[in-house]
Amino acid sequence: MPKEEFLKMRERIIEIENLKNKLNKESENLTETLTENCPHEVVIETNYISYEALGYTRSPQRRCLICGIVEDGWGCGYRKLKKRPIKVVSSDVFRKSRELEPLVQTGAMIPKSLIKELGWEEKKDKK
């Protein structure tokens, strides 16, 4: 490979890294704006879990499916996520909901039985 090719690759890598930084910053700013302004109306909840063998209990939690913020139900209790949850789910489903997935067009805000318990299905790519 000629020397210039290595230099070109190096320049391209620098360009890509700069673009990644710019996009990360934009994503952070959008996330901040979203969580600050979200009405938190699409909230799920998971019950507390008692791990008796370990002498440990995990508090109940709520997550807003739109902006993704999570709160614990104990201690000071729910502060931003006070609205009644649309569904109480297993801790498994709650964990799955952590990923920011495209919200499938369901008409109603989520259910369709919580979009098949958050397989998030229905990737509509009809071509």
Binding stretches for Zn ion (CB under 5 A): 38, 40, 64, 66-67
With respect to Zn ion, which residue has the nearer C-beta, 7 or 103?
103
Burial environment of residue 54 by CB neighbours within 10 A (0 to 12, 13 to 18, 19 or more):
exposed
**Shortest Cβ distance from residue 8 to Zn ion (Å)?**
45
Separation of alpha carbons 38 and 70, rounded Å: 13
Read off the tokens for 96.
Answer: 């799955």
Q: Using CA atoms in the order 76, 82, 87, 89, what is the torsion angle rounded to 10 degrees?
A: -20
Separation of alpha carbons 67 and 96, rounded Å: 15
**Shortest Cβ distance from residue 43 to Zn ion (Å)?**
8
**Shortest Cβ distance from residue 86 to Zn ion (Å)?**
12
With respect to Zn ion, which residue has the nearer C-beta, 26 or 41?
41
With respect to Zn ion, which residue has the nearer C-beta, 36 or 52?
36
